[in-house]
Amino acid sequence: MGAMAAAGVTSPARIKLKDLVAIDGLSSQDYKIAVASLSQSLRNFNAAIIQVPQPDDVLLRCVLDSVRMFFHSKPMVGADNVRAEDPQNWNRTAGYYAEPQHFREVFDYRPGRMNVEGAVVTELPPTGLPELFAILGNATRVCLDAIACSLEMRSFSFTDLLDNMPLKPGEMATSVLSSCCHNRPGAHHPANLLTSEQGALQLYEEDADKGLLTLMKSDKPGLQIRDLQGRWFVVDADLGPQDMILYTGTSLYQATGGYLSPSFHRTDNNADLSQAQGSIHLGRCTVAFKLMPRATAILHCSAMTAAGHAIGSPFQHPVAVHDFMQRTQTMDQLLARPGVPTFSFTAPVEVFVPATSQLKAAMKRKKQVSRGKPLAPSKRLRLEAQRVLKERVQEIADAKGLKIRYCNLKECEEQHLNAAQSPCGHLREAMNWPVGVPFVHPHDLPNKAKQAFLEAYEPGWSANQDSELGMVEVVQDQHGQMLP
């Protein structure tokens, strides 16, 4: 494992997956170093090398061999295998298809989506895909939690974006295990399958995944990633049997408010073909697990705000995942986004916490928020109400087995609150809902009602907010008086 804090580091860090697994209690020194190395590597190189446990590399090698033979046995690509790009179906691809415009063939495995919607698989898929899906799915979740830790967010802050684990009956996975073969000899795509624009494709094709994280293994080098300095480097050269490439997508970029840049990558579309002349060549095969957000989830930065990070204006409004996936953003657009702060990861260290830690934490949040656009009181109330809803109200409902069904604001104010019997009366009583506050989603409550809601489930909330602000202002005044 390379410590990225060391001077002269010129390649992504190699990090053991087992060192990134969080446990209850105090974090170990190995965990601190692993998290710091991961965050620095993603910061400087937009990629990291994750070393999976030794038993898993055997399955990984077997799947890669099976993928290679699967594609090698396929006939020349026909028009019936070509899939047109459809942003509406970003989470529905399954089975075998070809993308001649990208010079590749793909086999997507999604649990719960195979043999549905009339697309019955009549051929044997590559071996070991369900087992590898489970292993890599767990690995990417571990890496995602480590990234949240490096950003000082609460544990499992991104869990609400992910599929259920395990999937419930009838559910279909959004994440995908994608097997791919680039430039397979004998499958050179006929000219009639390519338009003139696709046929004139450049030597390199630059792209960024739209998911959260991607964990990829290839049988030959060929993947290039753009680092912090704008330089392209081959990231999958000299990989060991246990090494896999981890890189980030635009969904994680959105969910972290721009603090974690998406990894722009490209593949030389002609390199394999030139190497194949006069030699036995099977193309370049890859297996990639893409951790995707649920289509019904919402990308928001409330967890980042709660951690004290200043969020720029392009990221302050929540966006539905399905709508986000429809957007087309070029590399220039993402790199040129205004108001995105630069975040520098630092290695965790053991420190002595004095008695004034609460004051220092308040000053830190005040300082970070002051760097960007300050939150309006109404927005802060809304974020706090959403937090209490998740941490307090939902916990009470789950413990009592209650299913929350909110009322209409106007109807509840005018009819339910003053009625002896109302549709929401038993729920308000069971959940200790504050008296006089309509039983609607806290997001829709008026500001005064939001304050009553917060005081009911967190007594002293208003006083804590005022005292925290007062402490910061007093210390700032004292500091200003000491300056010459």
Confidence bin at 353 (pLDDT 50/70/90): very low
pLDDT above 90 for 338? no
> What tokens does 301 get?
């930065």
pLDDT-wise least confident of 167-181, 365-379, 392-406? 365-379
364 or 174, higher pLDDT: 174
Q: Which pLDDT score is estimated for 243? A: 96
* 212 to 75, 175, 225, 263, 299: CA distances (angstroms): 34, 10, 16, 11, 11
CA angle 73, 77, 78 (to 5 degrees): 130
> How do 14-16 and 48-51 pair as beta strands?
parallel
400 or 167, higher pLDDT: 167
Q: Which pLDDT score is estimated for 463? A: 60
pLDDT above 90 for 182? no
Q: Which pLDDT score is estimated for 278? A: 39
Task: Report the Cα 468 to chain-centroid distance in Å.
Answer: 32
Confidence bin at 193 (pLDDT 50/70/90): very low
pLDDT above 50 for 422? yes
Radius of gyration of the chain (CA): 26
Residue 225: strand pairing partners: 233, 265
Tell me what percent of the residues of the chain surpass a pLDDT of 70: 71
14-114+123-188+203-270+280-335 fold: Jelly Rolls (2.60.120)
Give the total residue count for the chain: 484
The chain-wide mean pLDDT, for the chain, equals: 78
Q: Which pLDDT score is estimated for 120? A: 45
Q: Is 31 left (phi over 0), alpha (psi -120 to 50) or beta?
A: alpha
Confidence bin at 110 (pLDDT 50/70/90): very high
Tell me what percent of the residues of the chain surpass a pLDDT of 90: 39
Confidence bin at 192 (pLDDT 50/70/90): very low
Chain segment 372-382, per-residue pLDDT in tens: 455 567 777 77
pLDDT above 70 for 257? yes
> What tokens does 297 get?
């989830």
- Helices and strands in the chain, H and E counts: 16, 14
Q: What is the mean pLDDT of residues 204-226?
A: 89
Confidence bin at 196 (pLDDT 50/70/90): very low
pLDDT above 60 for 272? no
Task: Report the Cα 107 to chain-centroid distance in Å.
Answer: 23
Chain segment 41-67, per-residue pLDDT in tens: 999 999 999 999 988 999 999 999 999
Q: Which pLDDT score is estimated for 78? A: 63
Answer yes or no: are the C-beta atoms of 185 and 103 closer than 8 Å.
no
pLDDT-wise least confident of 19-23, 52-56, 202-206, 313-317? 202-206
Between CA 133 and CA 167 the distance in angstroms is 13
State the pTM of this model: 0.66
Q: Which pLDDT score is estimated for 479? A: 44
pLDDT above 70 for 275? no
Give the largest CA-CA distance in the chain: 87
pLDDT-wise least confident of 186-200, 203-217, 431-445? 186-200
pLDDT above 90 for 431? no
Whether the CA torsion 15, 18, 23, 27 is positive or negative: it is negative
Q: What is the mean pLDDT of residues 419-441?
A: 83
Residue ranges of the chain that CATH labels 2.60.120.330: 14-114+123-188+203-270+280-335
Confidence bin at 331 (pLDDT 50/70/90): low
